[in-house]
Structure 1
Amino acid sequence: MKRTAAIVCLSAVLITAGCSDSKSNGGGKPDPNNEKQASAAAVKAFADAWVKAWAPDGKPDEAAALTDAPTTFGPRLDSVDTALVAQSVTVTPQGDPKCSDDSNCTQELAVEAILRGIGTMKWTSTATAVKTGDAWKIKASGDTIYPGLGEANYLKRVRTVPPRASILDRTGKPLTTNRPVVIVGVASGNVATAATYAAFTKNLDVDGTRLWKRAKGLPPGQFVDAITIRAEEWDKLRNTVGKLPGVLTMGGTASLPESSTFARSVIGTMKTATAETLKNAGPSASSSDQVGTTGLQFAYQQQLAGTPGGSVTLRDGKTKMAIKEVFKQQAKPGVAVKTTLDTNLQRFAEAALATSKLPASLVAVQASTGQVLAAGNGPTATNYNRAFQGHYAPGSTFKIVTSAALLGTGMTKNTVLPCTNTINVFGKTFKNYDALAPYGNGSMERAFNQSCNTAFISQHGRLPADRMTRTAAMFGIGQDLKLSIPAYGGEVPAPKDDVAEAASMIGQGTVTASPLAMSLVGAAVKNGTALKPVLVPGKDPAGPAAAPLPPATVAALRAMMRSTVTGGTAHALAGSGVVSAKTGTAEVVSNGKVITNGWMVGFRGDVAFAVIVEGGISGGKAAGPIVQNFLSRFK
């Protein structure tokens, strides 16, 4: 039975053999009375039809019709195709036909078949053309397909998949290893019951209705895979789900981290190949393979998987014993991918996020290098990497950038700014977060560590229209991060008017950034220069993302971020060592309602961090405890 494959078949290279001492009929057609020309034409037509037969969705009918026994040869040709799992073939007639008389000629065929998931197998067979009445036919022999097949022998293929290489942490310790898994599915047709599909939905987070439609649409006797889970997880479900009608399982291995949640959105997931992931996996992959579907497992699928090997043996049709090995290709192991992740810090980040009752993300980077040390999303694992890809208004954490812009105009951290309850900018009223009471005049440092919106907005007239955009770029915001996996570097468009500029100064309006981007802002203050983030050394661009920040600006920002912990809105971190931070509360519209997201950005030692809590009441109250928990786990 022919298998479907979304791979373009190679064209046949067909050479029409002619005779040096003969001429064709008028119009270029072969002379039916010239055995060499006529047999060569028959062989060429057969070769062309063979190529079509082994193409995706191909059928052997046309090739079979060109033989002297089409009813037996068609299934024979198709069975060899199925045995080899050929995705395409090239069949090239070689040289001139050799004729023993005017009714029997032979011609060699050079065959190259691409065996799906293994490689290219080459051989030479011989086509015998015989004249039957006025027509030339190809003798229907197994040897025409492969020498030695005869009438009963057959070819058997074995594929060998090498162990998948590991994803490593920054010290070379494996983050993933090959672990036992169970592929859980159902029998095709109507074997499974409604209770079976309901159990898949309830216990395995599989869309039971969609699975039912897939199973119903296939002929009986097929395995319809639904999900791949760890063997230990299946053990817990075996006595309930496993005994339901129609449930089928297959064992296997997959390259997995220490738990199903560990660094899931960065490392990624493994599943049985789909059309999309099979395309990403390359020509050596098979539809039955476990391949990367997200994260680094997807990005480095071909490197991690290596190259499968395989063999083909010619076997005796009666004894089933191998006559000889006719093809062999050695498997090549995959190559590990080393990351910058710190295993312990990743565990600490996930443990801290697990304490949140709201969706939250944490990113930690090495301030001196930009290397990602940890990236987590909680309180439960998700395939969507909010920590890298989230588009969030950064709120008051963006005052780090705003302060740098104002410092660039000649202001200092001691410049006096008015903190009023509200401020009106061309008809738009801005206010402070609810917990802050206006205190009148105070230094920029106080406005920073108390997070007074109105104090900063009062200075919007000092900034040229593009100053916020240019200053944000000094912290790396707005750049294409070019990481190995998708990541958002933020955006600070030039404001269209004074109102938009005022909003951007407090991280609202059109300003957006990811937690990763904001962690790099904290790192830039600590390091003095914004750096490009790195997750896979040697693959991700490294080095400065902008020119060094002015030393006076760096000194002022460090002082203001430290005072935010010692006497400001990040006081929850006062007992967490020498920490410098900035809190933020950003208003966003969700389902028609205005809610707030809580932020905290900062650094301790060489570790810079950013935390966001979706729906958090404020940065200090929502993000602060997560950061405190995280920092308490290491020195």
Structure 2
Amino acid sequence: MRRARRTVTATLTLAVASTMLTGCFEEPSPHDAVRDFLVGWQSGDYGLAAGRADGDLATVRKALADAKLELDAASFRFRITSVTMTGEESKAGFHAEVDLGENNPLWEYDGVLPLHLVDGVWKVRWSPSVLHPQLKEGQRFAVDTDPTPRQPVLDRSGDSLQTDTVLYVAGVYPARLGGKAEEVVAQLSEATGYAQDRLLSRIRSSPPDKFVQLVTFGRSRYQSMQPKLDAIAGIEIEPQDQPVNPDAPRQIVGTVSALTPESEQKLGGPQRAGDSVGKSGLQQAYQEYLTGSTQTKVITLDLKTGEQVALLKEWPGRRNLSVKTTIDRTVQAAAERAVSLTDTSALVAVDRNTGEIRAVGTKNLHQEKQALAGKFPAGTAFSIVAADALLKSGVSPKQRLACPQERTVGGATFANSGGSAGTTQSATFREHFAKGCVTALASLARRVTADDLAKSAKAYGIGQPWRLPLKSFSGTLPELTGDADKAKAIAGQNVEVSPLSMALVAAAVASGTWHPPVLVTEPKSPDPAAEVVPTAQPAPVPVDPKVRSALTAMMRSGAVGTPAQAGKGKVYGVTATAGDEHTWFVGWQGDVAIAVLAKNHDAGAVAGSFFAALRSS
């Protein structure tokens, strides 16, 4: 894509340059010869250029065409810088811009065209130095590239979150092809779908004794392609170990594939055949950081020996970087173990003091699309946020409330289900919060304003513009227009959240400050090619100390006697219902805050398994 854009620009520049040069100069000065030679070279009309040189027409045409191939150039552009004339001799200076493609910078240099009169007509005095001052007879251009290997995605300790897998690189040594490069490329192009001209130009622009990577295959595709590749004389296969097989959390780390003809056209970045391409997760989100770019040198070679003669220009390429995440392998292993006991569930664990994501475990749910970015009914798990508003409005944890099986608030009917089956017997707000009594919680709608509920939701990050490098969802609280809407919000019936957003709510109560989530700590800036570009994160929000003290006690009551409290150490949290099939557990133990969403399974039991696994590790 980058190559195509530059080519169009060069074509437009050519039209301007041709008009400018034609308008400025007329015969019998040397200017027409300079103009025709450079315009012909730039536009690929090598016959026009050769006609203005004193060398053999076929030789000059071939030299100009070969220069483009040897440089694998997308375009040439020229600007005349000076013209001097002394009798029948002249000299024209020009500035060249050569687009080497592959997202490399323009190669710029200054050249000289010596001219003299031949039978009254100005001609460029032909020699290879016309193409570049340092190019001599018996030499050619070449582009020597050195691609850097893909860097890994790391956990918080700096260890790779991938294991090695073998990729198979098909390529050639140009010197071994014996003049059959076009035949080899035609067969490879037919077998793989890569553009024939691109493959050929890579071979012709490379040093003859250097392995030229042309196409990379994963194991399965290589096995299916092997008979065709083996039948192409001159193609050699180099297996390469690359750390691209993702460890847990696999969907967060993401997958990598070999570059395909389709992805090569789509990316338009620094990738060359032989590179790997992130297809999902952080591998895709940080593709340009992980792959970096290719070190490139423009050199001249001796045609007989193939040895380098001169270095004309060098670009080191952008340094590629590892991506360091906040994932903790120990916490991740505990999450994987806990969700494995269910049919469908998600568990997100964060550090209570920083909001850093320590683990994302799922069973039959997508780690990015559903654990981080899923939109699920909050159910009575949202009572944590609602309790913040209610406590600030003066509702005491000791206030006694009835918990009938059904109750109508503002015209909306609420009913208890499961473990929160109602009773007319009075109990405290703290007790009803712990058991998730929907009717008792809904009855408090008149004790709080819609604005109070919205402010508490915002303070706990619900609906706020925090973002991750991957897809994420912070939650939504609709506009509340009456007691019915407020009651539904307190019961979480009109609120949508993700497991990540609820884990952050638990962390806020546990630490006393809400923090936006963090998944990647290095590099600091987002990948320029990422589909999801994080915006500036909201500032941390402190929780009112008195409210936090009350909420902590309420959430301790919510965990006592439940499967979440299955071992040593204090667990804090609430087990909540969200519809007929889903349950939540939102809480913490120690420095790890979690949210669990489970289908047809007790989310508290998943939390208990997680905390037990974490303790035993």
TM-score band (shorter)? 0.7 to 0.9
Find 2:82's aligned residue among 87, 90, 95: 95
Q: Which amino acid aligns with 2:324?
A: K
Structure 2 match to 1:592: none
Equivalent position SS for 1:31: coil
Relative to structure 1, the CA distance from residue 13 to residue 554 in structure 2 (aligned partners, 3 Å threshold; closer, same or farther) is: same
Relative to structure 1, the CA distance from residue 149 to residue 217 in structure 2 (aligned partners, 3 Å threshold; closer, same or farther) is: closer
Residue 296 of structure 1 pairs with residue 282 of structure 2: yes
Partners of 1:543 and 1:29 in 2: CA distance = 58
Partners of 1:459 and 1:125 in 2: CA distance = 84
Kept after mapping to 2: 8 A contact 1:16/1:40: no
Structure 2 match to 1:80: 67
Structure 1 match to 2:32: 38
Find 1:469's aligned residue among 445, 454, 470: 454
Relative to structure 1, the CA distance from residue 90 to residue 398 in structure 2 (aligned partners, 3 Å threshold; closer, same or farther) is: same
Find 1:269's aligned residue among 248, 255, 260: 255
Relative to structure 1, the CA distance from residue 14 to residue 246 in structure 2 (aligned partners, 3 Å threshold; closer, same or farther) is: closer
Relative to structure 1, the CA distance from residue 124 to residue 410 in structure 2 (aligned partners, 3 Å threshold; closer, same or farther) is: same
Structure 1 match to 2:208: none
Deviations 1:66-96 (A, max 9, x none): 4327766556444433332334544232311
Residue 599 of structure 1 pairs with residue 584 of structure 2: yes
Partners of 2:120 and 2:414 in 1: CA distance = 95
Where do 1:522-541 residues align within 5 Å? 522-537=506-521, 539=524
Instruction: State the shift of 1:398 in Å.
Output: 0.7
Find 2:570's aligned residue among 568, 575, 578: 578
Where do 1:180-195 residues align within 5 Å? 180-182=166-168
Partners of 1:502 and 1:133 in 2: CA distance = 100
Find 1:630's aligned residue among 610, 613, 616: 610
Deviations 1:160-219 (A, max 9, x none): 12244443332333435775434799xx99999xxxxxxxxxxxxxxxxxxx9x967977
Structure 2 match to 1:260: 246
Q: Which amino acid aligns with 1:533?
A: P
Residue 126 of structure 1 pairs with residue 109 of structure 2: no
Partners of 2:322 and 2:30 in 1: CA distance = 57
Instruction: State the shift of 1:524 in Å.
Output: 0.9
Q: Which amino acid aligns with 1:560?
A: M
Larger relative helix fraction: 2
Equivalent position SS for 1:577: coil
Relative to structure 1, the CA distance from residue 85 to residue 289 in structure 2 (aligned partners, 3 Å threshold; closer, same or farther) is: farther
Partners of 2:504 and 2:133 in 1: CA distance = 65
Relative to structure 1, the CA distance from residue 72 to residue 378 in structure 2 (aligned partners, 3 Å threshold; closer, same or farther) is: farther
Equivalent position SS for 2:542: coil
Structure 2 match to 1:146: 132
Deviations 1:476-534 (A, max 9, x none): 2221113343332222132244433322222222x222211110100111112212222
Instruction: State the shift of 1:28 in Å.
Output: 4.8
Kept after mapping to 1: 8 A contact 2:96/2:110: yes
Kept after mapping to 2: 8 A contact 1:119/1:284: no
Q: Which amino acid aligns with 1:91?
A: F
Kept after mapping to 2: 8 A contact 1:265/1:377: no
Relative to structure 1, the CA distance from residue 100 to residue 272 in structure 2 (aligned partners, 3 Å threshold; closer, same or farther) is: farther
Equivalent position SS for 2:81: strand
Q: Which amino acid aligns with 1:65?
A: L
Where do 1:162-561 residues align within 5 Å? 162-176=148-162, 180-182=166-168, 229=218, 234=219, 241=224, 251-256=239-244, 259-272=245-258, 284-286=270-272, 288-330=274-316, 333-358=319-344, 360-379=345-364, 384-440=368-424, 441-509=426-494, 511-537=495-521, 539=524, 545=539, 547-561=541-555
Kept after mapping to 1: 8 A contact 2:564/2:571: no
Structure 1 match to 2:528: none
Kept after mapping to 1: 8 A contact 2:300/2:310: yes
Q: Which amino acid aligns with 1:363?
A: V
Aligned residues: 567
TM normalised by structure 1 equals 0.75
Equivalent position SS for 2:30: helix
Instruction: State the shift of 1:332 in Å.
Output: 6.1
Q: Which amino acid aligns with 1:93?
A: I
Partners of 1:289 and 1:217 in 2: CA distance = 14
Kept after mapping to 1: 8 A contact 2:515/2:541: no
Instruction: State the shift of 1:459 in Å.
Output: 1.6
Partners of 2:196 and 2:16 in 1: CA distance = 41
Q: Which amino acid aligns with 2:372?
A: F
Deviations 1:275-304 (A, max 9, x none): 998799885443652243443334444444
Q: Which amino acid aligns with 1:632?
A: A
Structure 2 match to 1:115: 100
Kept after mapping to 2: 8 A contact 1:365/1:523: yes
Q: Which amino acid aligns with 1:400?
A: I
Kept after mapping to 2: 8 A contact 1:296/1:484: yes
TM normalised by structure 2 equals 0.77
Relative to structure 1, the CA distance from residue 295 to residue 399 in structure 2 (aligned partners, 3 Å threshold; closer, same or farther) is: same
Q: Which has the higher contact order (CA 8 A, sep 6+)?
A: 2
Partners of 2:577 and 2:238 in 1: CA distance = 49
Q: Which amino acid aligns with 2:312?
A: V
Deviations 1:403-443 (A, max 9, x none): 22221221122211221222234543322234432122221
Partners of 1:424 and 1:142 in 2: CA distance = 92
Equivalent position SS for 1:632: helix
Kept after mapping to 2: 8 A contact 1:177/1:255: yes
Equivalent position SS for 1:633: helix
Q: Which amino acid aligns with 2:251?
A: S
Partners of 1:348 and 1:88 in 2: CA distance = 56
Deviations 1:360-394 (A, max 9, x none): 322111112222212233357x5744222222222
Partners of 1:217 and 1:227 in 2: CA distance = 11
Partners of 1:179 and 1:98 in 2: CA distance = 64
Instruction: State the shift of 1:357 in Å.
Output: 2.0
Equivalent position SS for 1:8: helix
Relative to structure 1, the CA distance from residue 489 to residue 131 in structure 2 (aligned partners, 3 Å threshold; closer, same or farther) is: farther
Find 1:5's aligned residue among 3, 6, 11: 3
Instruction: State the shift of 1:544 in Å.
Output: 8.1
Deviations 1:71-123 (A, max 9, x none): 6655644443333233454423231144662xx64423332324334544343
Deviations 1:517-566 (A, max 9, x none): 11010011111221222223473899984542222321222122111221
Equivalent position SS for 1:563: helix
Structure 2 match to 1:67: 50
Partners of 1:579 and 1:573 in 2: CA distance = 6
Q: Which amino acid aligns with 1:81?
A: K
Relative to structure 1, the CA distance from residue 261 to residue 280 in structure 2 (aligned partners, 3 Å threshold; closer, same or farther) is: farther
Identity %: 27
Structure 2 match to 1:198: none
Kept after mapping to 1: 8 A contact 2:186/2:196: no
Partners of 1:586 and 1:306 in 2: CA distance = 45
Q: Which amino acid aligns with 1:454?
A: T
Equivalent position SS for 1:458: helix
Relative to structure 1, the CA distance from residue 427 to residue 82 in structure 2 (aligned partners, 3 Å threshold; closer, same or farther) is: farther
Partners of 2:194 and 2:263 in 1: CA distance = 22
Instruction: State the shift of 1:139 in Å.
Output: 6.8
Partners of 1:504 and 1:411 in 2: CA distance = 17
Contiguous gaps of at least 5 residues in structure 1: 18-23, 54-59, 193-211, 588-594
Q: RMSD of aligned C-alpha atoms?
A: 4.4
Equivalent position SS for 1:508: coil
Deviations 1:229-252 (A, max 9, x none): 4xxxx3xx5997466767997644
